[in-house]
Amino acid sequence: MIRITQIKLSIDEPVSKIKALILKKLKISEHELLNYRIYKESIDARHRGEIDFIYTVDVALQNEGKILAKNLKNVSLAPKLDYKNPEHGIKKMQHRPLVIGFGPAGMFAALLLAQNGYKPIVLERGEAVDERVKSIDEFWKKGKLNPKSNVQFGEGGAGTFSDGKLTSRVRDLRGRKVLEEFVLAGAPEDILYKAHPHVGTDLLRDIVKKIREQIIALGGEVHFEAQVEQFIIENQALTAVKLVDGTVINANQAILAIGHSARDTFSELYDKGIQITAKPFAVGVRIEHPQKLINKAQYKEFAENKRLGAAEYRLTYKSSSGRGVYTFCMCPGGLVVPASSETGRLVTNGMSEHARNQKNANSGLLVQVFPEDFPTTHPLAGVEFQRELEAKAFELGGSSYKAPAQLVGDFLDGKASTAMGTVEPSYALGVTPSDLEQLFPEYITTPMKEAIIGLDKKLHGFALSDAVLTGVESRSSSPVRINRDEESFQSVSTKGIYPSGEGAGFAGGIVSAAIDGLKCAEALISEFVPPEI
């Protein structure tokens, strides 16, 4: 196929006009055009009073060579996007491979293994998505937390209850496979070309079920409420795992896709001598604005144009202390949601449905923290740092899973909030007006204040006095890295364990975690032949 870039449509021109623009650009008749597909769509809102949609399109023609010979501007041979399965290795497997965790990394590792005949056994500590939804509803409506199955644990991982963003800064063709598998499982086809694709939590719930069903249809097994309690290691190699119910499963290969909140598993791995190091991450709050304000700031006079939908943003700021501050997991038309996984500790997250039609926008507003900020030099000190913040947030909110919240104006003025203003907080269990300086140390609050003022210059209204800060956002990424060899993708200290995804410290987001799961599965496939069962 031939790729054409920089095809421009005004906001008032229909997408169907692309065909005519292709014919005009290539100077061909309609019968010479076999078909075309949009590869990428982006929005150009840089010029005041004008918004354009910019397209990259892949085109199949009767005579591609003739057109390429013309050396037309913005016309080239389209790169090959097809994913190629790795060649099977030659070593024999004594047991079926395990995949521990069924978030994006584990799901796509298991899918690829199943597609290549390896019949993986998936072990997920949380519930299947339908049962998980009931447990989460019980928490969001009544404050009854299920520590075993919640926003962090269960089928689909933490990303199932988020905006379902499918953007990734990882330049990797595996990302295309991830998106295509999502489409095959029921995601909208436009995720293949949107500049900022998203699915939404409502659609993700069905998509993860369909991927699970495909794994099972190909001979895999998926077990829920099957938490690994113990790794059995002999001579620095995995030999089996023991579940909390006492079941022992023999295994020499396990893709470890446990997510960033599996704190008990981190402790078990450390106790077994598996090499782990503390890593930087970020903590902060959810900042909540009226969605109409964000639309106006981003799209000006076009703010209400339905073709544009709910506007989003991604902002960064470097504070005077040198700490980076940035927005994270921005949820247009979304909700701030209770995301705790441990009793007596409070965590927030953001979530949007596919329509993004709630009245508020929210985003994480996070400040970098580093291992030297943690109380000790222990590899798991970052976990304790998170726990301490979450316990403080729980207490500050009233010890009932209400969240501590403060108006931006009060936060900047250094005074506690006593009531909320014109922006109604969306957090399901309610908020307690608070002083967030009682929650965070100064080295977090000062950069956050600087950033709010600085980012208002980039996004007018960001420092809105009545905007709401809700704490605490502490699970942006893993506080640890489970060290691995980047050729074999196995733990540097324990053969047969393949640390993968966000929890292992190698990804940040749905697509990058899924890509990392594919990489670990490829490494296993490249070394072994499928097991005989």
24 contacts: CB under 8 Å, gap ≥ 6? none
> In 3-state terms, what secondary structure has residue 333?
coil
- At 34, which CATH number? 3.30.70.2700
Tokens coding 242 = 């023991």
Cα(145)–Cα(330) distance, integer angstroms: 25
User: Considering its fold, how many domains does the chain have in total?
Assistant: 3
Position 8 pLDDT exceeds 80: yes
pLDDT, position 520: 98
Top pLDDT among 284 and 167 is at 284
Instruction: Work out the pLDDT band at 51, boundaries 50, 70, 90.
Output: very high
Residue that terminates a domain, selected from 44, 77, 110: 77
pLDDT tens for residues 212-224? Answer: 999 999 999 999 9
For residue 533, pLDDT over 90 is answered with no
Per-residue model confidence (pLDDT) at position 280: 97
- Is the pLDDT at 55 greater than 90? The verdict is yes
Distance CA 42, CA 53 (A): 6
Domain boundary among 47, 77, 107: 77
Do residues 197 and 332 both lie within one domain?
no
Tell me the C-alpha to C-alpha distance, in Å, between residue 420 and each of 363, 394, 413. Answer: 18, 19, 15
pLDDT-based confidence at 170, cuts 50/70/90? low
Give the pLDDT confidence score for residue 287 in this predicted structure: 98
Q: Which domain holds residue 285?
A: 280-473
Residue 219 and residue 146 share a domain: yes
Co-location of 39 and 52 in the same domain: yes
Confidence of residue 171 (pLDDT cuts 50, 70, 90): confident
The pLDDT tens digits of the residues spanning 72-84 come to 999 999 998 889 9
If one counts every other C-beta atom within 10 angstroms of the C-beta of residue 400, the result is 12
Banded pLDDT at 504 (limits 50, 70, 90): very high
**For range 243-247, the mean pLDDT:** 97
Stretch (H or E) spanning 469: strand 468-473
- Residues 448, 315: one domain? yes
d(CA 36, CA 452): 44
Share of the chain above pLDDT 70, in %: 100
Q: Are 405 and 417 in contact (CB under 8 A)?
A: yes
Q: Which residue has the tokens 């929005």?
A: 43
For residue 330, pLDDT beyond 90: yes
| Single-letter amino acid, residue 439 | L
> Mean pLDDT over residues 240-250, rounded?
98
pLDDT of 490 reads: 98
What is the mean pLDDT of the segment spanning 43-63? 91
pLDDT at 254: 98
> Do 296 and 388 belong together in one domain?
yes
102: CATH: 3.50.50.60
Q: Mind listing the pLDDT tens digit for each residue in 79-109?
A: 988 899 999 999 999 999 999 999 999 999 9
* Domain membership flag for residue 316: yes
Residue 523: what are its φ and ψ, rounded to 5°?
A: -60, -40
515 within some domain: yes
Residues 285, 138, single domain; the answer is no
In tens, the pLDDT along 281-329 reads 999 999 999 999 999 999 999 998 988 999 999 999 999 999 999 999 9
What is the pTM (predicted TM-score) of this model?
0.95
Nearest to 232 by CA among 496, 515, 517, 527: 496
Q: Tell me, yes or no, whether 448 and 326 share the same domain.
A: yes
